[in-house]
Amino acid sequence: MAQNRIGRDHSRMIPHPVKLAAAVLAFGSACAGGDERDSTELPKVSPARLEEHIRYLASDRLQGRGTGTPGYDSAARYVAERFAVLGLDSAGTEGYFQPVPLRRARAVEGSSLILVGKSGRRGLTPYRDYVPSPDYLRRRVEVTAPLVVAGFGVTAPDRGYDDYRAVDPKGKIVVLLTGAPSSFAPAERAHYATPRLKFQNAVRRGAIGVLVVRTRDQSFPWDRLTRQARAGGMRWLDPKSEPADAFPRLRGIAILSDTGAARLFEGAPTSLAQVLSDAEAGKAPAFDLPLRATLRTVSVHERVESPNVAGLLRGTDPRLRDEVVVLSAHLDHLGVGEPVKGDSIYNGALDNASGSAALLEVARAFAALPRPPRRSVLFLAVTGEEMGLLGSDYFAEYPTVSIDRIVADVNLDGLAVLYPLREMVPFGAEHSTLDSTVARVAKRLDITLAPDPFPQEVFFVRSDQYSFVRRGVPSLFPFMGLRSDSGVDAAARFREWLATRYHTPQDDIGQPMDFEAGARHAQLGFLLGLEIANADQRPAWKIGDFFGRTFGRRAAAQTTTSSVTE
């Protein structure tokens, strides 16, 4: 299979002289800021090739591309072979590969959560009342402490907001709601909703354990969460084999279901229903619960390795060629898991065979340019996204090109293959000068741009661009919008996809997919990368922007240090 494709790819590498002349003209005007007349002369992403990659990557042969599995390794080799055929330079640490050392941890039999209150002791049932989070450092760990509710667990000094204002979590297990206040701007809300930040904050306040209560806007069904939790979690390992983001001072972490949360709030000064309603209204209450909890976690550890795949197209401008535009897509999915409707292979066709396919075709489009752009372009297929953005985080921590030279990340996660593409949501654009870039490119493709239609889903922090944002790199995550041509109720279709296929074995090649629309999405990625690579100025955070302030170059170094020493 691979050889057949390689042969065909090779023939594409020889440019036709007439096309070449036209493309040179087009390139000239792209430099000047993008002229609509010439866009037709640029290489085009082919829907058929996209489909071919998706069919392979999402095939049962690759067993759902689970991080650290042979199926994922096959996918990684597939990508590396194509990078080689396109003539990209290898930009990993071992050729095209950057192996990521990982520890898998799974909470097992023997883990328990017991509540002790006035009415006695009550044991909660694992996977029905709660999901135990594995411990990445210790095989056995236990904590017994009083419980205190501290809203969303958010401290945002900029906004004068602090969920810990009225309570003292020192030496206690803190009960936190998912999400962040609805009064926050969407991306800021997304940032503050990330567990890493909440756990860091809890540790800083002296908490020794965390119980998470899900708010009503959580669309991720409980049974799906338990299925994924049983498979365990992963963390990347630093050169001393220490796991990142392991939070040793937290001696237990668990997520409660509705039934578990109901138990927790029996006899509480404020009812669970009231707490959840208040959270929806953006005011998260904080108070002590009349309970103590004993959380015991027994974990099994396993060493795993899984590669990122990196290929580089060298830039041509002697002044700018050391700067790098990253185009990223996660290649992993959930692998093989608990069966749903008789199928146990989580093929991840849309999530993210489609984005990986787009990465390959965008790379092909770049390689087909008669002259590479001014800046270099790094094509990066990452591992471990579904386990917590691990591959991209590892790459951003140990980049194979200087992180200061990375001018932007454009991330492709989930192509717009559900309906004809008319509208896109450029997650993250408003924070940097990438907003005008994406506006220009979208206009050229006759795509309208829409603001984030589901801020409560915090998509901006849920894919790999966020690993770059956290190191101060302006980034963009273009995603399908909720309006379409052709009388399709796109919003309903997307919600239905989220509810019935997202992270289930049914996100497979059997579902209807619009490859034309996917190719338009990929074309947008290509043109974005090209504009950024050819622009006189590298993208910059907007003045005073939240992410620029929080993670701008100086802040980035501090963040990195604290997450390692925590």
The binding site for Zn ion (CB under 5 A) comprises 351
Buried b (16+ CB within 10 A) or exposed e, 466-501: bbbbbbbbbbbbbbbbbbbeeeeebeebbeebeeeb
- Select the residue whose beta carbon is closest to Zn ion and give its number: 351
How much of the chain is helix, strand and coil, in % rounded to 5?
40, 25, 35
Separation in Å, CA 199 to CA 38, 154, 459: 50, 10, 20
Q: Which amino acid is at 418?
A: L
Separation in Å, CA 349 to CA 58, 236, 331, 335: 5, 25, 10, 12
User: What residues are paired with 105 via a beta bridge?
Assistant: 233, 301
Question: Which alpha helices (DSSP H) does 445-536 contain, by range?
Answer: 465-469, 490-500, 515-534
What does the alpha-carbon distance between residue 381 and residue 77 come to, in Å, rounded to a whole number? 11
Q: Which tokens belong to 297?
A: 């976690």
> Which pairs with CB-CB distance under 8 Å and at least 24 residues apart come from 394-398?
394/98, 394/100, 394/236, 394/308, 395/98, 395/308, 395/310, 395/467, 396/467, 396/468, 396/470, 396/471, 396/473, 397/236, 397/244, 397/560, 398/98
Nearest CA among 50, 78, 74, 52 for reference residue 62: 74
**Among residues 51 and 351, whose Cβ is nearest to Zn ion?**
351
Cis preceding linkage at 352, omega within 30: yes
User: In the block, which residue shows the tokens 């340019």?
Assistant: 369
- By the 8 A CB rule, do 346 and 64 touch? yes
Q: Which amino acid is at 18?
A: V
User: What residues are paired with 295 via a beta bridge?
Assistant: 113, 143
Question: Which alpha helices (DSSP H) does 86-244 contain, by range?
Answer: 186-192, 195-204, 222-230
Residues 6+ apart with CB under 8 A from 505: 64, 337, 339, 340, 341, 343, 344, 345, 346, 347
Q: Which tokens belong to 481?
A: 């919008």
What does the alpha-carbon distance between residue 336 and residue 359 come to, in Å, rounded to a whole number? 24
